[in-house]
Structure 1
Amino acid sequence: MLENPRSPRVRAVAKLSKRSARAETGLFLLEGPQSVREALQYVPAAIVELFATPTGWEKHPDLRALAAQNDIEVEYVTETVLAAMADTVTPQGLVAVTRQTPTSVREIFAAAPRLVAICEEVRDPGNLGTIIRAADAAGADAVVLTGRTVDPYNPKVVRSTTGSLFHLPISVGGELSDVIRRAREAGLQVIAADVKGDDLLAARADGTLGAPTAWLFGNEARGLDDEALTEADRALRLPIFGRAESLNLATAASVCLYESAFAQRAAR
């Protein structure tokens, strides 16, 4: 059992909360039973180390079974050591070190996707995690993150995805112009979600949303710049029927992705 919270091994795990350490090692941190469960189910080969307190491990027989099926051994740690490793204030008894598994932009569009979310300069970890989760729920084929978007392996992003990080391909670090070019070459229209765009209800009525689509989402505060809007085929905005000044980015992205999911399924 690991008992020393100041040991080099414990410190190496704790450093994964920092982007520089994740970039250097190609690893990231998973915390809690939900994230660990999804990793064990969908990407068990990516798990490098699995740590748990005896009490935390005892609470989850399903995780013990999944770990055994994949020949993954758990290393017991004290509550103090787990707290030193974790990014959260109140960790839930489980931490895993996992390899990052991004997919290239080329591979994503070579697979003939019908629905993709492109995130340009999305900076809030909670927003990005929720967009990834919404894309997964809506049946999107992939999420593409351009170079100025927050790291998807940031602990807050990982927690916000609630496991969806492991359910669909995610590309990291692409240039927006290259991503849009590849999307078009793959037969997708690129629609920017922007307050200056046309009413989404009109696009619903004219059948636009039933075609293969890459939705483009911008920065929480500034939205998309003029150059990005020019590169898109069309810009659409969500109507506001009440008194709200605007919608949170992740909420708006969820609605847009589901509108396309509904339209595409109806068209089939």
Structure 2
Amino acid sequence: MYDEILSNPKSTRVKRVAALSRKKERVEQGRFLVEGPQAVRELLTHRADLAEVVFATQGDEPWQAELKTLAEQAGVYLDYVSDSVLAAMSETVNPQGIVAVATTWEGNLTEALKDARLVVIMHEVRDPGNAGAVLRAADAAGADVVIFAGESIDPFHPKVVRSTTGSMFHLPVEVTLSLEEAVTAVREAGLTSLAADVRGSDVLEARADGVLAGRVAWVFGNEARGLSEAERALVDRSLKLPIYGAAESLNLATAASVLIYETAFAQRA
């Protein structure tokens, strides 16, 4: 821990941290931002090996003492900074008083899928809030792996990290170059691939057939256009959620959460 408060928002050190809001810099530095007390708490508790440094403002909030202790226990530097420095580092308009810098990782998809029963694949999901919400739902439902495929948003984007509220530190998060690569990997691992698509059959049929009780990998497509014909052809089966009311459809995060939990219920029945 440094003795002096870091107070110059224009310093090279601060600019280097702030640059992590850009993907090019994240790739070059091999680092990413973790913002907010909850996300930093989960980082230090579950993946302290990734944490490089924590920057925090001084105050008397209960979480400040807690995270100071967690950083010390993990052997991670905690540097106190001014409000202006934290604002310069943070990607948010109203920062929550703490930012951590962590190292990115390259996973091992084959190893992660070895004993997996529930896998979530996002293909060309572009909205960081949606991506984070789906990852968080997957974590809550006990999923084993989350895969970002194709042109999906970078899982290390600050808004994705923030919207997961720490869930990305609870389970393997993998990246593949294409949906085909992801589906091939889950099939080789023995999972059935299911696409969420409005042109598919009713998910209740799959539940009755016992499909959801097995080892399942769900594929969720782009928010605006879903999955193409060619993309749907890659998976074993396409399923849709029934709409009982007058709503035209459900948004991606809501539909994904329902389907992930429906599968978790079936696997635990």
Q: Give the TM interval when normalised to the shorter protein.
A: over 0.9
Structure 2: how far apart are the matches of 1:62 and 1:152? Answer: 27
Residues 37 and 63 of structure 2 are in contact (CA less than 8 Å); yes or no, is this contact kept in structure 1?
no
1:200 pairs, out of 192, 195, 203, with 203
Equivalent residue number for residue 38 of structure 1: 42
- Are 2:83 and 1:79 aligned? yes
Structure 2: how far apart are the matches of 1:240 and 1:216? Answer: 20
Cα shift at 1:59: 4.8
- Are 2:97 and 1:104 aligned? no
Question: Which has the higher mean CA deviation after the structures are superposed, 140-149 or 96-105?
Answer: 96-105
- Are 2:140 and 1:137 aligned? yes
Q: Which contiguous aligned blocks of 4+ residues in structure 1 show a shift greater than 4 angstroms?
A: 56-59
Q: Secondary structure at the match of 1:156?
A: helix
Specify the code of the residue in structure 1 equivalent to 2:50: A
Q: Secondary structure at the match of 1:247?
A: coil
| Per-residue Cα deviation, 1:82-101 (whole angstroms, up to 9, x for no partner) | 11110111111111111113
Cα shift at 1:181: 1.4
Structure 2: segments with no counterpart, 5+ residues: none
Specify the code of the residue in structure 1 equivalent to 2:209: D
Q: What pairs up with 1:186-197 in 2 under 5 angstroms? A: 186-197=189-200
Specify the code of the residue in structure 2 equivalent to 1:18: R
Structure 2: how far apart are the matches of 1:214 and 1:136? Answer: 14
Specify the code of the residue in structure 1 equivalent to 2:45: Q
Aligned-pair Cα RMSD in Å = 1.3
Pick closer, same or farther for the CA change 1:3–1:57 going to 2, 3 Å.
Answer: farther
Structure 1: how far apart are the matches of 2:62 and 2:244? Answer: 50
Structure 1: how far apart are the matches of 2:34 and 2:50? Answer: 11
2:13 pairs, out of 9, 28, 34, with 9
- Are 2:188 and 1:210 aligned? no
Structure 2: how far apart are the matches of 1:33 and 1:181? Answer: 38
Q: Secondary structure at the match of 1:54?
A: coil
Cα shift at 1:39: 0.4
Residues 121 and 149 of structure 1 are in contact (CA less than 8 Å); yes or no, is this contact kept in structure 2?
yes
Structure 2: how far apart are the matches of 1:57 and 1:39? Answer: 19
Q: Secondary structure at the match of 2:59?
A: helix
Equivalent residue number for residue 249 of structure 1: 252
Residues 100 and 153 of structure 1 are in contact (CA less than 8 Å); yes or no, is this contact kept in structure 2?
yes
Structure 1: how far apart are the matches of 2:13 and 2:77? Answer: 17
Residues 102 and 170 of structure 1 are in contact (CA less than 8 Å); yes or no, is this contact kept in structure 2?
no
1:162 pairs, out of 155, 165, 186, with 165
TM-score by length of 1: 0.96
Pick closer, same or farther for the CA change 1:155–1:49 going to 2, 3 Å.
Answer: same
Equivalent residue number for residue 68 of structure 1: 72
Structure 1: segments with no counterpart, 5+ residues: none
Cα shift at 1:216: 0.5
